[in-house]
Structure 1
């Protein structure tokens, strides 16, 4: 039922995108700037009202975070490439029905897929649509990260698992990108505060917009310390620092991410996001990640959100952190005791 709703919403959402893509098709390397002339309604206390349901499941249509090198600097797919992606999505969308007909329950009952779109990647800068190279310290930190996605790794203690393995946090900016399921996002507002509820790992970002001072840098959190302000009458700008090291800032659940959940962050990491209302039911989400300790340059991404106030957020009843951690450790120790290579 949810999959049917998702595909229907995707069709509606994709109908809002061709106007942008059509203009850009004259030059496949150009991403049009967000139109900021729209004036949203105001809250009772005078701030732009961006509250509501903004699920990003309509973006879960095989667009990768990082661009395939063969696509070079192209922001958009060609007509032929778009037709190929559309065919791939149609095949994936049939997995649920196919499994049911065979009396099976597999990835088709878990992973959701939306209509294809023309974007070659969510990353818009650098121009090749890929994460910048690591700095030397970034390479070292990446090598120290642990996750169940790392092949051949031994498990002896909870610190051998990342925060997503342990059902603690998917982290930022990963939580703002579409994943295989649980893509619900809701925005709530009250005087001086914006809250962003995330369906995946049931987290809520609290963002003061009243000019209150930030917390000391010694206090770190999984989703960092955020402060927001309003620009141009329709854009919420959020700056986040004080990140707690641990989560991979990109992860395997986002198509085209590094394959082992091993993209680290440092205490100098900084995330700047812009939420620009371009219409009553549309937001352009831009983000830039800067971490000079890990990366040789900043990187940016953009997603186009579509309102869906009827989207129902499901409870993210994550129990793996309570049971599977112990199971992984027991199996890993047994395999090593028997001289076997890790099966993970």
Structure 2
């Protein structure tokens, strides 16, 4: 009995040591990344602002939300990162491991360009707040809006007019902050600075925002815009951009016109720009939530994104819808 008890204690001690070692390695890995970046000396522009200019690549296979199978696990170990990246590459359809299969893409896998790496921090999701890595639940008001919109769509066809199609499908805008999240392709961002403005150009749907830094007030609440009304300021080495006055037609994940967006851009290395945002809309989500991920400096030019509202795809969608209506009427 005594010998068996001692063996059990020995096994438990070994298991405990292994668990502690694994936890320590994960903590040391994430802490070493943060410590190295905390000592970085940011280059300044000729007028003294932190220099965040250049071309930045936001590709990553890390999902927006933490997969349920990784619940309670905010970071991957270096070994898990390598395994995750290998499994994602072996998937074969051009999509990341945890993106879900869904229906077939209209694009050939060779056209997709999610990238091949998880974020440099090793996080299991881009959402970092709440700690669950999951977007908070919708409010009752948001669910009612979604239900009413669905009933309205039932009363008319999905292509009665070009206005029935989404802004992204019509090549008007990908929206903010959706346009700065990693996409299936066109993941480049270009930033240009002047003493009193910052220009942020996203490759997807060639969206451009010109952000004033002069402390001007927001436009009246009665005026809404596709990308909201941005106002920028510097907090140390971080560019902070606050946006309000979003158009209801450019809704971000069912958000309402009450959306308040705060973005942060921080240069953490010569070749790395940390992008963070927090969204707050108490008519849409039960609490604010936030995202953080690094963008990597790119070395290739951005080519024209030749998509516009009169594109062939939209014409074909409407033409096919009219043809289907004729066929139905003839029966």
What TM-score bracket applies, with the shorter chain setting the length? 0.7 to 0.9
Query: Once the two structures are superposed, what CA deviation does each residue of 1:80-133 show, in whole Å capped at 9, x if it has no partner?
Result: 6534422233336897xxxxxxxxx95233101423223311111122211111
CA contact (8 A) 1:86 1:115 kept: yes
Structure 1 residue aligned with 2:133: 129
Q: Measure how far apart 1:332 and its partner are.
A: 3.4
Q: Measure how far apart 1:73 and its partner are.
A: 2.8
Q: Measure how far apart 1:31 and its partner are.
A: 11
Matched, 1:323 2:312: yes
SS in 1 for 2:190: strand
Q: 1:157 aligns with which of 140, 156, 161?
A: 161
Matched, 1:168 2:172: yes
Matched, 1:218 2:222: yes
Structure 1 residue aligned with 2:108: 107
Structure 1 residue aligned with 2:48: 46
Q: Measure how far apart 1:28 and its partner are.
A: 9.7
Structure 2: how far apart are the matches of 1:298 and 1:86? 31
Query: Once the two structures are superposed, what CA deviation does each residue of 1:136-189 show, in whole Å capped at 9, x if it has no partner?
Result: 22113334558xxx9x97321223211101100000111111111111111101
Structure 1 residue aligned with 2:69: 70
SS in 2 for 1:267: coil
Structure 1 residue aligned with 2:84: 85
Structure 2: how far apart are the matches of 1:282 and 1:33? 13
Higher helix proportion (structure 1 or 2): 2
Query: Once the two structures are superposed, what CA deviation does each residue of 1:279-304 show, in whole Å capped at 9, x if it has no partner?
Result: 22222211101111111111100011
CA contact (8 A) 2:227 2:250 kept: no
SS in 2 for 1:25: helix
SS in 1 for 2:318: helix
| Unmatched segments (≥5 aa) in structure 2 | 1-22, 95-105
User: How well do the aligned residues superpose, as a CA RMSD in angstroms?
Assistant: 3.2
CA contact (8 A) 1:187 1:196 kept: yes
SS in 1 for 2:273: strand
Q: Where do residues 304-323 of structure 1 align in structure 2 (5 Å cutoff)? A: 304-308=294-298, 310-319=299-308, 321-323=310-312
Structure 2: how far apart are the matches of 1:307 and 1:29? 21
CA contact (8 A) 1:36 1:276 kept: no
Q: Where do residues 277-296 of structure 1 align in structure 2 (5 Å cutoff)? A: 277-296=267-286
Structure 2 residue aligned with 1:139: 143
Larger relative contact order (Cα-Cα within 8 Å, sequence gap ≥ 6) = 1
Q: Measure how far apart 1:66 and its partner are.
A: 1.3
Structure 2 residue aligned with 1:242: 245
Structure 2 residue aligned with 1:270: 260
CA contact (8 A) 2:190 2:200 kept: yes
Q: Classify 1:330/1:140 alpha carbon distance in 2 versus 1 (closer, same or farther; 3 Å).
A: farther
Select the structure of larger CA radius of gyration.
2
Structure 2: how far apart are the matches of 1:272 and 1:31? 27
SS in 2 for 1:54: strand
Aligned residues: 288
Stretches of 4+ aligned residues off by more than 4 angstroms: 27-37, 78-81, 92-95, 336-340
TM-score (norm 1): 0.74
Structure 2: how far apart are the matches of 1:313 and 1:136? 42
Q: Measure how far apart 1:273 and its partner are.
A: 1.0
| Unmatched segments (≥5 aa) in structure 1 | 1-21, 96-104, 250-262
Q: Measure how far apart 1:220 and its partner are.
A: 1.3
